[in-house]
Amino acid sequence: MIRTSISSATTTSLLTKGGSISGRIKKLIISNVDATDSCNYIVQLHDGSSATIIYNVDVPAKAALVLTDGIAFDSSVYNLQITTSTTAATLITII
């Protein structure tokens, strides 16, 4: 299990290409733990020069989105990234 906390409008690599963790994900949980601010999240695969958007979703304050589609990608080629649109406190969990 991997947990990442984010509290700024930024793009964050959740899994880095060529890393020791494979691109097979059972669940991706996006938790907006902020008390008041909603946030737009863009989950994407990035090969170093271009990105492919997997999900683009708004999550209200104090809510979570659980993606259980069995996400799989070639982690030797792609980074798994998330872009956040606000400073809403966010917790990402990968299982």
Band of residue 92 on the pLDDT scale cut at 50, 70, 90: very high
Residues 6+ apart with CB under 8 A from 29: 64, 65, 66, 67, 91, 92, 93, 94, 95
Per-chain mean pLDDT for the chain: 95
pTM across the whole model? 0.92
Write down the pLDDT at residue 69.
Answer: 74
d(CA 21, CA 35): 32
Note the pLDDT of residue 20: 81
One-character DSSP codes across 47-90: -SS-EEEEEEEEE-TTEEEEE-S--B--TTT-EEEEEESS---E
What confidence tens digit (pLDDT) does each residue in 37-65 have?
999 999 999 999 999 999 999 999 999 99
